[in-house]
A and B are shown apart, each in its own frame.
Chain A
Amino acid sequence: MSDPQPTRNRRRPPSPLVAMALAWLLPGVGHVYLGQYLRGAVLFVTIAGTFWAGVAMGGVMTVDSVNERWWFTAQMLSGAHGLVSRYREQRVWNSLATQAGSRRAGVLTEDVRQALLSERKIALVYPMDTVARAYSGVAGLLNLMCIFDAVILAMLWGKGTVEPAGAGRRQ
């Protein structure tokens, strides 16, 4: 865990809830809120890069809330990145439902959904589905770690420096 006392002086202690919300919404921004600008920037670039690398490889159906719920849950932990991808995915489902003459994509059978996705050349199949979802899902899980760190740093604000486990061994 990084130093909870950044160099910048603050009048009020930071709120753990705000730190959590910011850290979820935009990865790294929770640390920026705590005054750790460079750390936040590194986290933002790395997590955003990992998430969008997955979407770049897997396409619009990398985030699939209908068929891949566990991956979807992990992807949503990346905040705005996940939400944007979810919006894009939702547009695809709505478009497919319109094409199939139905009001909701959920009523289409799995076979029909896959056929429509394949027709548009956006169906995500093995092995790329594993790789693309692993990248974007791991990005979300990494952000979960950042959220915990930001919340704990906010809670420990003003209570001294917390040394990470094993920090003194390799100095």
Chain B
Amino acid sequence: MSDWTIFVNPMTLRLDNILWLLPPLCLSVAIVYKTIRTPRLARVPMEVFLLLVYMSGGLLALGIVLWAIQEFWL
């Protein structure tokens, strides 16, 4: 981290912290998708929240399934 200069040098990232960077990316996807798809902009925040819940739930379920496969099957 000490060598990190923003926009120049890469940050040092530990592998066990990588999942924390997934929610912001999901949020970006949800905002852009719902901004395009929602007819009334006033509804965008609620639609984004709902999509974020769906995405997080789906990714969590996928993670549990993959964990179960590698834990009990492989």
Contacts and interface: CB of A to CB of B under 8 A. Distances in A.
B55 interface: no
A107 interface: no
B28 A142 contact: yes
A128 B12 contact: yes
Interface string B1-38: 00101111111110100100100110011011101111
Interface centre among B6, B24, B28 (most CB of A within 10 A): B28
B35 A1 contact: no
Contacts of B12: 128
Contact of A59 (B8, B37, B41): B8
A50 to B, nearest CB: 4
Interface string A130-170: 11101100110010011001000000000001011001000
A50 B31 CA distance: 11
B28 A139 contact: yes
Interface of A: 1-3, 38-39, 42-43, 46-47, 49-50, 52-53, 55-62, 121-125, 127-132, 134-135, 138-139, 142, 145-146, 149, 161, 163-164, 167
Closest 5 CB pairs between A and B? A59-B10, A50-B28, A142-B32, A128-B13, A46-B31
17 contacts: A38-B41, A42-B44, A43-B32, A50-B28, A57-B11, A59-B5, A59-B8, A59-B11, A61-B10, A123-B10, A127-B15, A130-B18, A132-B10, A138-B25, A142-B33, A164-B38, A167-B37
